[in-house]
Structure 1
């Protein structure tokens, strides 16, 4: 059912739902648009509405080929909406669900596009705060880039900042997606441009490995790993690419590169990545994400399907519009946008073993700490115990026989009352 959004826009069809609101395919004076209508409880928050209006000029001025442009911000009664460019294609999360991991050339090209968008935003004084595959759109109608990667555009600028208003969060809360949160955010420090670089490096690691370096399990455990653990190296990629990822995942924000530097260095590395296949390493442990739906490997990927569309569950919509939020069938505690979480205390952040971040390993090898690994360890200990017991029995019997032989020089004599006859 169509509905009016302000005086200039009409929303025709829901494209997706997210934690912050609903994305509609809309129509405006200049043609089709994507309209992100925020939740009613957000629209009723006067402080948020004022912040929304204050951010209007900055968001409207953010004009870059690698950024999904914000055309308008609408405040009309109970409606609070962002009107954005309509991008036809899919999002990076959908592509990962189909391909699991990308070839290094395509991964680096996409990351370079994201870095370009971040560089423009940071130059305008805007911090994204929620860089992740769900917020990266792939333009299916544009010419493909290196490695067959379509141009990538970063979306959802300003939404995290709008949601994270003083009236909605306390000083002991953080807003973000656990897998991609920089350590300083976990520790309660204000977000600066460097948090986007950390998240971008996490996305690049995920594109190459098929899993994030610190993800898996309870969100609280993920937050602690960001602060206490070191990232495990990725085998099979040039050392220069790994050094870039490692530097951008530095715990100290000042040690990370700037977005413009990341983009330049990635593009310098592209020729060296030509022809390299996707990494042959194990993906995330099934025990860590056992509740997550798995992509249907038999369903072909539709590059024209709307962003967030579950193409193996519903018919593909060719030529569809790209919504600006993830529209999965159910909430994902690890990747839900703008998850509000308590800031862990110093004792909690200090707890746990160090050096236990997810380590790439050979395909088929059980991951340390997983249920399969623990079962294998139990079997190994049982075998070792049985072997030790058998060895002890053999030694005991041999010792008894040797002692008896030494004392009598022959076999023991029969006991009283026993007749060999």
Structure 2
């Protein structure tokens, strides 16, 4: 038996659970819908309910082919729900998990679709604030685009803003997922449209490489990298596409493209990407890279770390529907200082040793031994020259000052 949501909707089947709530397959007056029912602790927050109602007009007015439309917002007793269009397909995270990385043409086509959706949202004064593969849906019933890509739609508009109340987050919380957070958010600045561009460029990097440019390790280290590290080039993509990524991953928000500009520039790149296979780069921590390292110098087994969204609690499992909208504390100065894991992960050609790996350490040790040996040889040579010089001075007859302290000879 279905669960009534307000007076017009019935939730029939759970599609997935996330940190913000539960998504249901539902039925409304106009047919099937997706119903996002927010958590009870959120629905009991009167401040949040007030913000929810205030956002109603803006969210209902956001209508674009690349945005999952919000049909209704329901406030009914303890129920707080967003009623959205039902997309017949899957999310981008599911496809990425299955394929590991995508061919550049398809990846760029998908990101261009999302950029178009963001352009419409930004024009309406709405910032998404949590752009990531989990929030991009692929319409499997839509026409195929370049590279066989399905139409992409951005979902979960408004959830970040609704949850991010001053009382809930104050100055010690960050709304978003660490791998995709723009530097200005880490530094405590208010989120503007440019944060969505940074996050979307991070998604494109991940679709091409199979991992995010600054992810991996402790969330504090991830945040530090966003602020301090420079993105490392991906081998094998056209220079024009790489420059687009660099510009949209700029630390300064004003340096990034606007969403409409990004969409247009990406579509200009599509003819250059036809038939290009997925990039051949080893993901840090991948089985191929680990196998090469262990073959060169066996090391103790290490836990495999899933690249992509970083769990905020050690050992935590991803949400079943991959709706991983999270709220995390701002790291302290000691965490931002980095450490062994505080360096950016460097993409490299397949088979090349990973920095810090056993193969890399062995190579460094060999170079160090050669350097030390050369230094020792130089030192021995220097000592030999000094000894020779001293001996030559004795044989050539000393000056009066050389012999003034010598013992007198017998008559």
* 2-structure distance, mates of 1:51, 1:234: 42
Q: Which residue of 2 aligns with 1:339?
A: 326
Q: Which residue of 1 aligns with 2:398?
A: none
Q: Which residue of 2 aligns with 1:117?
A: 117
Larger Rg: 2
Q: Which residue of 2 aligns with 1:216?
A: 216
- Written as runs of structure 1 = structure 2, the 5 A alignment for 1:305-320 is none
SS of equivalent residue, structure 1 residue 344: coil
**TM-score, with length taken from structure 1:** 0.78
SS of equivalent residue, structure 2 residue 270: helix
Shift of 1:347: 6.5
Shift of 1:344: 3.2
Shift of 1:346: 5.6
Task: Check whether the contact 1:228–1:349 (CA below 8 A) recurs between aligned residues.
Answer: no
Shift of 1:186: 0.4
Q: Which residue of 2 aligns with 1:400?
A: none
Provide the aligned length of Structure 1 versus Structure 2: 352
* 2-structure distance, mates of 1:36, 1:229: 37
Q: Which residue of 2 aligns with 1:252?
A: 252
Q: Which residue of 2 aligns with 1:381?
A: 365
* 2-structure distance, mates of 1:290, 1:13: 34
- Written as runs of structure 1 = structure 2, the 5 A alignment for 1:15-414 is 15-286=15-286, 290-292=304-306, 330-331=317-318, 337-345=324-332, 348-349=335-336, 351=338, 356-369=343-356, 373-374=357-358, 377-378=361-362, 381=365
Shift of 1:158: 0.3
Between Structure 1 and Structure 2, which shows a larger proportion of helix residues?
Answer: 2
SS of equivalent residue, structure 2 residue 26: strand
My pick for the range that moved more, 266-275 or 245-254, is 266-275
**1:105-144 per-position Cα deviation (integer Å, ceiling 9, x unaligned):** 1011001000000000000000000000000000000110
Unaligned runs of 5+ in 2: 291-301, 309-315, 381-411
Shift of 1:382: 7.8
SS of equivalent residue, structure 1 residue 168: helix
Instruction: Sort the Cα spacing of 1:234 and 1:293 in 2 relative to 1 into closer, same or farther, 3 A.
Output: closer
**TM-score, with length taken from structure 2:** 0.80
Task: Check whether the contact 1:203–1:212 (CA below 8 A) recurs between aligned residues.
Answer: yes
* 2-structure distance, mates of 1:281, 1:292: 16
SS of equivalent residue, structure 2 residue 220: helix
Instruction: Sort the Cα spacing of 1:191 and 1:3 in 2 relative to 1 into closer, same or farther, 3 A.
Output: same
Instruction: Sort the Cα spacing of 1:144 and 1:251 in 2 relative to 1 into closer, same or farther, 3 A.
Output: same
Instruction: Sort the Cα spacing of 1:348 and 1:330 in 2 relative to 1 into closer, same or farther, 3 A.
Output: closer
* 2-structure distance, mates of 1:108, 1:387: 46
Unaligned runs of 5+ in 1: 295-328, 397-421
Task: Check whether the contact 1:114–1:152 (CA below 8 A) recurs between aligned residues.
Answer: yes
**1:332-360 per-position Cα deviation (integer Å, ceiling 9, x unaligned):** 7xx87332222235665455599932211
Q: Which residue of 1 aligns with 2:396?
A: none
Instruction: Sort the Cα spacing of 1:387 and 1:196 in 2 relative to 1 into closer, same or farther, 3 A.
Output: closer
